Structure formats: C-alpha cells, structure tokens
Chain A
Amino acid sequence: MSGARERILASVRHSLQRDEPLAESIAAGLEARLTEPRPNALPALAEEGLAACFTTKLTAAGGRVSRAADVVQLAILISAHLSEFQCGRQLLVAPDPWLNSVPWSNELSVERRAATGDDRVSVAMAFAGIAETGTAVLLSSPDNPTTLNFLPEDHIVVLPETRLVRYLEDAWARLRAEFDEMPRTVNLISGPSKTADVEQTLQVGAHGPRRLHVVLVRDA
C-alpha cells in the first residue's frame, strides 16, 4: 500500500502547511537532535548512593535485592533462593560469558540456553541498573535470550555494581558507546509480573515471573 504512505505523508504536510521539503537549516537541526541525543529535564534522585537508591526503589515495587561480594557469594545466594522457594535443582543460566566463572553448587544441574515453558528458574545478566527507578536493563543477544526474562516463575538477575547508573539516559549513553545498533529487544524490568485487572486489587505473578530477585555483585 505505497499509495497510502504517500497519501498520509501528503496529508501530514498539508496540515503542517508545508508543501515544500523541509528547509535545509531546519532539517539540519532535526538531524542534530537525532544524532546527538541529549537528556531532557531530569528529576533529582531520592537518596545518596546508586546501590541504596536502586534497592529502595525495586524493593518498593515488589522486587528483592541482595548483595554479593563476588561470584562465590553470588552462587551461594542463588542456591539459597532455590531452597527458599522450593525451585528444585534445575537451573537455567544465560549463556553470557560473564557467568562462566560462577562456581555453581554441584547439586544443581545447570543449563545454558533459551527458556521453554517448563523452566522454573532463570539467571540472566543485566546490562545496567537504573538507580532512579530500581530498573534492570537487559539486552537480547545469543548470550542473553529474552525468554529467560518472562517464562520462568523465578527470575534472578545478576547486576555487577559497576553497571549501576543514575538515570535511564545514562544507560542509553553506555549502550550507544558499546553497540553499533539497538539489540532486537531491550527489556526494562522494574518488578515482578503483576496485574490489578480484577477489582483494582494488586496481584503479583500474572503471566511472567512471580519473583524478581536482583543480585548486585561488588567485585566484577
């Protein structure tokens, strides 16, 4: 329907009273706005310290935040999570190389792949954590399949503290610096799955994970 495209754009231009293409000076301004994106107005952060701010916000939204000194403690914390919520011994871990060095307990059977409907727990790797809102930023890639973030009942996210930033705007700046293009999927995750569609009563565990557990790792 290329005809529709032309007609819609013509109608837009007619409404803007612009029958000529954009003047060069205006087009250059718009171009600059796109190629050198700048943050707009930002709110002040609620408290000092990125980790503290992140923890307060995510906890308020129903997520859990733990802190591990290193990958050894990370493995222990994850084992404890599995026991606490009776998750069994199957653990689905993102193929991300950062997680290669985690010394998983021998009692666990660890698989590294995309998720299926049968996986109970997943461990995924965050690209960034946003202090402003307690949000984990996860990028899709062969190393970090998106299904890990939504199919399992328990979603454990590993977030090295060096990846904490103040605002989402800071995460975009890092993303542009590290990648040539947007990943297929960018997930901003700010709590466990929830719904209020029945009489406005908040209920956790709608279609996605019932629990979101972010582990901040200090030495990374």
Chain B
Amino acid sequence: MKSTAHDFKARARRALGDAALRRAMAKAEGGFVAKRQAAVAALPEWKELCAAAREIKEHTLQNLDFYLERFERQCEARGGHVHWAETPAEARAIVVEICRAAGARRITKGKSMVGEEIAINGALEEAGFEVLETDLGEYIIQLAKEPPSHIIAPAVHKTKDQITELFHAHHAKLGLTERVTEVPAIVNEARTVLRKGFLAADVGITGANFVIAETGSTVIVTNEGNGDLTNTLPRVHIVTTGIDKVVPTLEDANSLLRVLARSATGQEMSCYTTFSTGPRRAADRDGPEEFHVVLIDNGRSRMLGNEFRPMLRCIRCGACMNHCPVYQAVGGHAYGWVYVGPMGSVLTPLMVGLDEARDLPNACTLNGRCQEMCPMGIPLPELLRDLRTRVFEEGLDPPRARLALRLWAYLARRPNLYRWATELGVATLGWLGRRRGRFASLPLAGGWTRARDLPAPAGETFQSAWMRSRGDAR
C-alpha cells in the first residue's frame, strides 16, 4: 500500500468532519475498551503473564539470528520452503513467482497486515491473478477499495448502512439483488459469496501471528475460520510474515496467546488458533501440496540495533489504538498507511521514511494510555518523542515550527526572561479575554481556533500561582 502519511493533517481534519465515521468510531471504542477490561479483570495473574510474554520476546530478539535459522531448518525439514525478502518489492516478486510457478489463477487471502505492508494485492492483480480477501472486514474494504483503518477490525470505520449499500452494489450482479440491512443477513451473504471463492482458489495467502523455531510452524489466530479455509483448501499455502514474529517454542507461543486475544478482543482465546507445519503429509486427504514462508525484513533488522528495538516486541493486538484519544477522533485512514494509532505512528516513519510521515509522531497527546495498555510494555510515548527529536534534528519540520521551537528554547534557558514573558503574555490574554473568557480567533493560533475556542488564561501563570501557594503553605 502506498503511503499518504504526508497528508496526515488534511486527512485528520476531513475525518473530524465525517459524521458517519464519528458514529462508527463511537460504537467501536466502547466495545474494545470494555471487553479488554473485563478480560483483564478476570485474570489475577495478568501482570505476571504480560511480564513473561515480554521476556520471551526480549530473549528471542536478543538471539534473533539463531531462532530464524532454526525456524528455517525445521520448516524445510517438514517439506516447507523458506524465502527471505529484504524489501517489500522483493517479497512481492517472491510471492508472484510462487503463484506463477503453481499455474494459479485464483488466490484467496486471510487478513495479513504484512500483506498490506508489502502491498501484495496490487502486485498479484497486476500480474493477472484474481485476489479475494476473505476476512469479512478485509472483504468489505476490498469492495470499497480502501485500506484497513484498524489492524484487528479493518472495516471499523464503516457503518452498517454503508456495508448494506456496498454489498448491494457488488452482489446484485451475482443474483443477490435484495438489500441486506441486518447484521446476520449481511454476514450470511458474505458467507455465501466467499464460500465459492474458497472452493475455487488455487493459492491461499495468510500472515502469521507467530512462527515457531522449535517446530518450523506458522501460527494464525482468527475468529471467522476464513484463515483456515484459506490455508487448507488451495493447492498452495503461502505465509507472508515479518522476521520479528519468531518465538522459540510452542510453550512460548502459548504465553503470547494468553495476552494477545485478551488485549485485542477481550477473548480468552480466539475461536481458531492454527499451527501449520509444512505441506500435506503422504497419506493426508486434504491440505496444501506446497507450503511457503516468506520472511520479510523491511527495516526490522535495523530497528533491532537502535532505540526502537522495543517496537519489535509488538504482537499487533491493537490495544494501543483502542485506547488512543487521537486515533479515536480521527480514525485509521488519517494515518495514511497500514499501521495506525500509536504503534503505527512509530512504525510508519521507520518503514516508509521520517520525511513522509513526520506529522505522525506529533499526533500524540503523550497521555501514556497506550503504554499502560500495551501487554508488551512498549514505551510508545517515549519512542514517539524520540521520533520528534529525529524530525527536528534532521530539519524535516516546517520553518515556522522550527522558529517557534527555537524561540521557546531561547526563553526556556533564561528563567527570568521566561517568567517575565509568560507573565506578560498571560496577563495580556487574560485582559483581552476578560469578557467572553475565550477567543474565537487569535493571531498565530489559527491551528487551534479553526476548530475550537481558546480558553482565556485566568491572568496568572502556573509558576506564580505555585510560588504563591508555597508562600501560603509556609
């Protein structure tokens, strides 16, 4: 998927004025937050299990080369093929070539964020293959020709009415001419349409939540069962995944599973957790004849060596975005690429370039909820601050912002001047706004006042109020 992260500000502004998006996001937020909270409250050992999960990831990252090579060896010992891709372009070429060699025409896909990261659908369609997304959310956005807006619920931005119209527009030609308006009927219609696709597919492509060094297995976690129809029915199963997904043993995968579903959907276990190891065995009556795993780097090995290593602990549960006030206000599309919310604001600049995504690290109030909710304890606010520093150091922010920062830095280093300037500013603003108590417009503050009023200061700075109260206390 091509990044439009450079356009974040304009997209965020449009999103804030989108009434349908507001309705859809309001429904989703409460659901995710409440379900996670209930699941965590029901498990007294939550913190301990998160700590264990974090330790496993840290251990694996510290020995990543060892575990990747072991995974490769074990997967190939079971008859699988392991491919390595440094870049999205290399990964696309590998997948297209496997499909060509298999003489494939139709391809089904399970939801895979790495698939979106490498923009595999476009490459396959360009090469002449028919590609069908089979996760209901992914199917909806495929019909709408939109990118996902959430890593767990890709169509979370769509209202039921919008889906009704979308299905009507696309399914009428299949003979399904009646509008389906209720959730059960919508899901049923998708089931009917996609079932044909599953049975006709030559190649199935899924991602992986984990890959296991001990056994050479790949693991997917789903609720719909679409991932399993995708990896069982076609002749060829291809897994696209990042090199950060490896864990040592089956037991280690268990520990991560215990925190994944609870953080993502509030379930103790998703309905289907599936371990795939190689192609079908000699006497098997079903299963794919070929099994391929494409291990993708795309900047991950570099992150391993710098301050962003903790980001490689991410298990893609989506809890950070579900608890982010910025994400909840603007939705996923504003972020302009595959990964959204706090984790996306860290990953996107690192994967598509800081220049392209320089606004994302600023789309954060530093309230810290994401880090608090993250089962892997990733210090997301800290990483976002590091990215802000990088943006400034590399001179990527606009001249006006740099000037303002320089001015502020000049003042901040001169306490007396700072006190004098802020007292003057606050007193002036307080006097100007003494009647209405707020400003509808103010020179240099258009970015704020375009969308809301600026409250007038009470006439005293924090520092002077602080000094006064300490004086009182004595």
Contacts and interface: CB of A to CB of B under 8 A. Distances in A.
A135 interface: yes
Given A196-B265, A205-B191, A185 B275 contact: yes
Interface string B223-249: 111101101110000000001000011
A193 interface: yes
B136 A190 contact: no
Interface string B30-66: 0110000000000111001101100110000011111
A51 to B, nearest CB: 18
B65 A16 contact: yes
B249 A142 contact: no
Contact of A169 (B225, B251, B285, B286): B251
B214 A185 contact: no
A162 interface: no
Contact size range, B? 35 or more
A106 interface: no
B297 interface: yes
B228 A182 contact: no
B233 to A, nearest CB: 7
B160 A198 contact: yes
Contact of B224 (A14, A38, A195): A195
A9 B229 contact: no
A145 B285 contact: yes
A141 interface: yes
B441 interface: no
Contacts of B303: 15
Interface string B7-37: 0000000000000000010011001100000
Interface stretch (A65-73, A119-127, A146-154): A146-154
Interface stretch (B252-260, B403-411, B461-469): B252-260
B312 to A, nearest CB: 10
Contacts of A42: 45
B160 A187 contact: no
Contacts of A185: 231-232, 274-277, 287
B370 interface: no
B232 A146 contact: yes
A4 interface: yes
Contacts of B190: 206
A198 B250 CA distance: 33
A4 to B, nearest CB: 4
A200 B229 contact: no
Decide if the interface of chain A is mainly helix, strand, loop or mixed: loop
B144 to A, nearest CB: 13
A27 interface: yes
Interface string B382-396: 000000000000000
A171 B184 CA distance: 35
Given A8-B297, A182-B277, A169 B254 contact: yes
A41 B48 contact: yes
A141 B284 contact: yes
B315 interface: no
Interface in A98-147: 113-115, 117, 133-135, 140-142, 145-147
Interface in A66-99: 95
B305 A14 contact: yes
Nearest to B275: A186
Interface in B303-323: 303-306
Nearest to B191: A207
Interface string A15-38: 111100010001100100110011
A194 B165 CA distance: 22
B86 A4 contact: yes
B272 A189 contact: yes
Q: Which of A2, A7, A9, A150 has the most CB of B within 10 A?
A: A150
B199 interface: yes
A13 interface: yes
A160 interface: no
A13 B214 CA distance: 21
A219 interface: no
A30 B66 CA distance: 8
B225 A193 contact: yes
Interface string B421-458: 00000000000000000000000000000000000000
Interface of B: 24, 27-28, 31-32, 43-45, 48-49, 51-52, 55-56, 62-70, 78, 83-86, 90, 94, 134-137, 140, 153-156, 158-160, 163, 183-184, 186-188, 190-191, 194-195, 198-199, 213-217, 223-226, 228-229, 231-233, 243, 248-252, 254-255, 257-258, 265, 267-281, 283-287, 295, 297, 301-306
7 contacts: A1-B83, A41-B255, A188-B273, A200-B153, A201-B183, A206-B190, A207-B198
The 10 A-B pairs with the shortest beta carbon distances in the complex, nearest first, are A208-B225, A15-B305, A206-B224, A15-B304, A11-B301, A197-B137, A114-B285, A5-B84, A37-B249, A186-B275
Given A2-B84, A184-B281, A198-B155, 17 more contacts: A1-B90, A8-B295, A12-B304, A40-B252, A44-B45, A135-B269, A142-B284, A181-B78, A183-B281, A185-B232, A185-B274, A187-B228, A187-B272, A193-B225, A193-B271, A194-B271, A207-B229
